[in-house]
Amino acid sequence: MTGDLLGRHRAVLPDWLALYYDQPIEITHGEGRHVWDAAGNRYLDFFGGILTTMTAHALPEVTEAVSEQAARVIHTSTLYLNRPMVELAERIARLSGIPDARVFFTTSGTEANDTALLLATTYRRSNTVLAMRNSYHGRSFSTVGITGNRGWSPTSLSPLQTLYVHGGVRSRGPYAALDDDAFVAACVDDLTDLLGHTRPPAALIAEPVQGVGGFTAPPDGLYAAFREVLHERGILWISDEVQTGWGRTGEHFWGWQAHGRSGPPDMLTFAKGLGNGMSIGGVVARAEIMNCLDAHSISTFGGTQITMAAGLANLTHLLEHDLQGNARRVGGLLIERLRTVAAQVPAVREVRGRGLMIGIEVARPGTGEADPQAAAAVLEAAREGGLLIGKGGGHDTSALRIAPPLSLTVAEAEEGAAVLERALRGL
């Protein structure tokens, strides 16, 4: 059945629409932290459908909110007042930490970043943008142009002038040996130097933890230090919270808060899990930035009633059940457990992360060289053991990514860790 579907997929969809696994799976349903495929196999989901499932699969409150909204009206147009959109915007504005915040809803993270770029370049009258090396921000014409991770971006003749900044990763080159303070100082120095001989940029866009890049994070405080340099020059800071938002990192609701000692970003973008699979993205910005566009800006589908109803139900569940706290507690235990395994498996170079955003770097024992084949083998072995995980990384795909729904239980964390342990020991 799946074999036939795979043939049809390959015949009609683009070659670059990649599928995981030698024998790709067709997911037919899910419940809690588990999903089932068309052959009836059950999997523990440690990737949350790449973070789209924020709370749990088939969360009853979201299912009810969506069914109830669908039975009345799915959506008409953003030209009419939309109660769930206003209510969700009010809640996100309050949660964002950005003063005088306005919220614009989109249908994806790409479109959210696209909008943030539109706002920043218009506000600052500059088409120069700073992005981080190894970044990923989406696949539209403009977001491909600020995506430093070439493994994840097709060729682009972007209209933006993009300058790439050091800081997101430090596993390579002269930065590798530096301690946290020296690393931050070196990156700030590099940024200051870059700004000394370039046209004034509109903004710096950065993921607090690089997602597609393999869940790598700079030392806390790097973006606070950057923020000072940027603000002295009027340059905006955009925090791409598409993967790090909604408490995923456990300690913080937003990734920027790990860097927040000098204050919030000027804009943040979000997407992925808010709708628990329904497509919601958005931008939060100070009013003076959000309102700098002088054209009428409408979006047909940004903020549909049905996705907003899902978002409200999902966010309410997240907050009422303190899933951020759960991510901190269960994620903390999982990281500890995986580090114990890593200490005994020479092919694991590093277990890193925070909360339920955990990266495992796989390398050739002895040389420490990235080992994408080994990472792919662990992905397959985990699937054989009934566990779905993700992969990612910089120039090479040698990191395993773990990002389960935020309601993961301790027993499920244990179960998944045992499968991972077997898969890693099998290398």
C-alpha 58/C-alpha 276 separation (Å) is 9
Q: Could you say whether residue 361 binds ligand PMP (CB under 6 A)?
A: no
Nearest distance, CB of residue 261 and ligand PMP, angstroms:
23
Nearest distance, CB of residue 140 and ligand PMP, angstroms:
8
What's 199's DSSP letter?
P
- Binding residue count for ligand PMP, defined by CB under 6 A: 15
CB closer to ligand PMP out of 223 and 421: 223
Q: Could you say whether residue 271 binds ligand PMP (CB under 6 A)?
A: yes
- Site stretch for ligand PMP (CB under 6 A), options 226-234, 236-244, 332-340, 343-351: 236-244
- Site stretch for ligand PMP (CB under 6 A), options 15-23, 107-115, 322-330, 418-426: 107-115
Nearest distance, CB of residue 152 and ligand PMP, angstroms:
8
Q: Are 98 and 284 in contact (CB under 8 A)?
A: yes
Q: How far is CA 103 from the centre of its chain?
A: 19
Site string for ligand PMP, 189-218 (x = CB under 6 A): ------------------x---xx------
Q: Exactly one of 55, 69, 82, 110 binds ligand PMP (CB under 6 A); which one? A: 110
Q: Could you say whether residue 391 binds ligand PMP (CB under 6 A)?
A: no
Q: Could you say whether residue 401 binds ligand PMP (CB under 6 A)?
A: no
CA neighbours closer than 13 Å in the CB half-sphere of residue 374: 22
Q: Could you say whether residue 255 binds ligand PMP (CB under 6 A)?
A: no
Nearest distance, CB of residue 281 and ligand PMP, angstroms:
6
Q: Could you say whether residue 248 binds ligand PMP (CB under 6 A)?
A: no
- Residue 137: name the closest of 208, 202, 229 by CA: 208
Q: Is 367 exposed, middle or buried (0-12, 13-18, 19+ CB in 10 A)?
A: exposed
Strand 42-45 and strand 387-388: pairing? parallel
The token pair that represents 261 in the structure block:
């000692």
- Residue 169: name the closest of 216, 118, 206, 207 by CA: 216
Residues in the chain: 427
CA neighbours closer than 13 Å in the CB half-sphere of residue 392: 24
Q: Could you say whether residue 243 binds ligand PMP (CB under 6 A)?
A: yes
Nearest distance, CB of residue 270 and ligand PMP, angstroms:
9
Nearest distance, CB of residue 242 and ligand PMP, angstroms:
4
- Site stretch for ligand PMP (CB under 6 A), options 10-18, 37-45, 109-117, 164-172: 109-117
Q: Could you say whether residue 113 binds ligand PMP (CB under 6 A)?
A: yes
Q: Could you say whether residue 114 binds ligand PMP (CB under 6 A)?
A: no
Residue nearest to ligand PMP (CB): 109
C-alpha 420/C-alpha 427 separation (Å) is 11
Task: Fill in the amino acid letter for 66.
Answer: V
Q: Could you say whether residue 290 binds ligand PMP (CB under 6 A)?
A: no
Q: Is the dihedral of CA 219, 223, 224, 225 positive or negative?
A: positive
The token pair that represents 19 in the structure block:
């599928």
- Site stretch for ligand PMP (CB under 6 A), options 238-246, 257-265, 373-381, 406-414: 238-246
- Residue 323: name the closest of 417, 416, 404 by CA: 404
- Site stretch for ligand PMP (CB under 6 A), options 54-62, 65-73, 235-243, 339-347: 235-243
Query: Which DSSP string corresponds to 361-407?
Result: EEB-TTT--B-HHHHHHHHHHHHHTTEE-EEE-SSS--EEEE---TT
The token pair that represents 303 in the structure block:
């903020």
Taking CA atoms, 152 is separated from 20, 331, 369, in Å, by: 15, 27, 21
Nearest distance, CB of residue 422 and ligand PMP, angstroms:
28
Site string for ligand PMP, 125-164 (x = CB under 6 A): -----------xxx--------------------------
Residues that bind ligand PMP (CB under 6 A): 108-110, 113, 136-138, 207, 211-212, 240, 242-243, 271, 281
